[in-house]
Chain A
Amino acid sequence: MAELVEVMAASHAPLIARDWPTLEPHHKERLTAAFQALGARLKRAKPDVLVIVAPDHWINFFIDNLPSVCIGVGEQHEGPPEPFLKAFPWRPVPGHAALANHIYATALANEFEPSVSHHMKLDHGFCIPLWRMEPNPLPRVIPIVVNTLEPPMPRVSRCLAWGKLIARAVASYPERLRVALLATGGLSHSIGEPTMGAIDEAFDRRCIAAFNDGREAPLLELLEAEMDGAGNGSHECRNWIVAHGAAGSRGFTLVDYIAVPEVYVGCGFAAWNLRC
C-alpha cells in the first residue's frame, strides 16, 4: 500500500523568482531558510511521488472552461511558461499517471467530480516552491489544480474533504509508494485589486493559529469569514486546507512566516503533524 509520508505548504509569490536579486537581504535569507527547511523534510521523507496542490494562474484554463478541481494525470507535465522561470531545471516534469488516475477514480467513487488534464503546464504556483526546495532526486509529481482565482471557487469545507479524499486514495493504492503532498500559495495578498500590495498580518496570524490548533470547525469558519477581506490571493488558503484534510487535521508546525512587502505576500511555510 502507498503511504502519505509528508504534508507541507509554502507560498509561491512569483516575485520571489522574478525580483530575487533586488529583495532585501534579510528577506532572502529567511525565504531561503524556509524553503530549505521544507526541502530537508522532503529529503528525509524520501517520497516516490509528490502531489502538489496549487492554483492555475490563467495558464491552462480560461473562463470558457474553468474547472473547480483538476488532476494532472499525464505521464509528464510541462515546465513553467513564465519568462522569469526559464532556469527551472526540470523539463518535462515527470508525472505518475497510475496514482493520479487512482486518485481520480477514488474521487468518482466518493461522489467527487474532478476534471483531468492529460497535458498540464505547471506555472510558478507549482514550480517556485519545488525549485527552491531543491529536491534531489525530483519525485514524480501529480499536480492538482484547485481554482482559487475566479469565482465560483470550491467551498473551504469541500477543500477539506478533498484533502481527506486524497489521503484515502493514497492509502488504498495497491503499490508500495511513499507519497508527499505540498500545498502552495497564500497567505494574505492582493493582486490586481485596489488593495494590491497590502499584507494582512493579523489575518495571517489568526490563520496560522487555527491551522496549528487543528480543529476543523473554527478553521473553516475563520477562512470562510475572513478570506475575502484579506485580499484575493488569500483564497489560496484553500490549498492549505486540502493539506490540512490530507494530514488528518492534527495541526501543524510553522516553519516560518515572513511578511514580504517586495513580493506583496504574507509568506507562510509549514509542515503538518501526520501522527497523533
Chain B
Amino acid sequence: MARVVAPCHDAAMRDYWLSKLFYDVQTSAAEYRADRAKFLARYELKAEVKEALMRDDVGFLAQRVNPYLLRFYFAASGMKDEEFIRRLRESAPPQASRG
C-alpha cells in the first residue's frame, strides 16, 4: 500500500529548527510545558511553524520532522497517544492509514 514517506535511502526534507526544538524538548519537557512561548523564542522558527506549535497542529508539523521526533515531542508535551494517533490519521491522505 502506498505510504507518504521518503524512500529510506533518500535524505528527507526536514525543518532543522523545528527538529532541534523537538530534540531538545525530550530533555526539557517541564521547562517547555511551563512557558512554551519563552522556550520557542530560542529557535529560528518560521511564523507558521510557531503558530502550528501553539495550536498543536500534528498534521502540519508531521510534514517537517522525523516521525519519531514528532511522537517524542507530543508525548513530552503531554498529549496522550490516542489523541496523537487520531490527529495523525485525520491529517493524512486516505492511502496512508493502514491501522
Chain B interface extent, by class: 35 or more
- CB proximity to A under 8 Å, residues B1-41: 1, 3-12, 14, 16, 19-20, 23, 26-27
The 8 Å CB contact of B11, one of A58, A152, A227, is A152
The 8 Å CB contact of A150, one of B1, B12, B16, B99, is B12
A195–B3 contact, CB under 8 A? Answer: yes
Docked pose: A156 CA to B92 CA in angstroms: 28
A151–B99 contact, CB under 8 A? Answer: no
Write out the residue numbers on chain B whose beta carbons fall within 8 Å of the beta carbon of A229.
1, 3
| Nearest A residue (CB) for B20 | A62
The 8 Å CB contact of B9, one of A149, A155, A200, is A155
Docked pose: A131 CA to B10 CA in angstroms: 34
A194–B92 contact, CB under 8 A? Answer: yes
Docked pose: A222 CA to B14 CA in angstroms: 28
Among A151, A194, A197, A228, which residue has the most Cβ atoms of chain B within 10 A?
A194
B12–A151 contact, CB under 8 A? Answer: yes
A39-76 interface bits toward B, Cβ cutoff 8 Å, 1 = contact, 0 = none = 00000000000000000011000111000000000000
B85–A58 contact, CB under 8 A? Answer: no
B67–A191 contact, CB under 8 A? Answer: yes
B16–A151 contact, CB under 8 A? Answer: no
**Residues on A close to B: CB < 8 A?**
57-58, 62-64, 81, 149-153, 155, 190-198, 200, 227-229, 232, 235
B99–A152 contact, CB under 8 A? Answer: no
Write out the residue numbers on chain B whose beta carbons fall within 8 Å of the beta carbon of A57.
68, 72
B9–A197 contact, CB under 8 A? Answer: no
In the assembled complex, B62 has its CB within 8 A of some CB on chain A = yes
Docked pose: A62 CA to B69 CA in angstroms: 10
A192–B88 contact, CB under 8 A? Answer: yes
Write out the residue numbers on chain B whose beta carbons fall within 8 Å of the beta carbon of A193.
3, 5, 62, 67, 88, 96
The 8 Å CB contact of B14, one of A63, A81, A200, is A63
Known: A153-B8, A195-B99, A229-B3; 14 extra A-B contacts, CB below 8 A, are A58-B68, A58-B69, A62-B23, A151-B8, A192-B66, A192-B67, A193-B62, A193-B88, A195-B3, A195-B96, A196-B81, A198-B99, A228-B5, A232-B5
Write out the residue numbers on chain B whose beta carbons fall within 8 Å of the beta carbon of A149.
66, 68
B10–A151 contact, CB under 8 A? Answer: yes
Write out the residue numbers on chain B whose beta carbons fall within 8 Å of the beta carbon of A198.
98-99
Docked pose: A267 CA to B20 CA in angstroms: 31
Docked pose: A191 CA to B7 CA in angstroms: 16
| Nearest B residue (CB) for A18 | B75
A194–B97 contact, CB under 8 A? Answer: yes
A192–B68 contact, CB under 8 A? Answer: yes
B99–A192 contact, CB under 8 A? Answer: no
- CB proximity to A under 8 Å, residues B24-83: 26-27, 62, 66-72, 81
B89–A152 contact, CB under 8 A? Answer: no
Given contacts A196-B99, A197-B99, A198-B99, contact A63 B16 (CB under 8 A): yes
A196–B88 contact, CB under 8 A? Answer: yes
Docked pose: A58 CA to B10 CA in angstroms: 19
Write out the residue numbers on chain A whose beta carbons fall within 8 Å of the beta carbon of B96.
193-195
A151–B6 contact, CB under 8 A? Answer: yes
A174 CB to nearest B CB, Å: 37
A151–B7 contact, CB under 8 A? Answer: yes
Write out the residue numbers on chain B whose beta carbons fall within 8 Å of the beta carbon of A197.
85, 99
Write out the residue numbers on chain A whose beta carbons fall within 8 Å of the beta carbon of B71.
191-192, 196
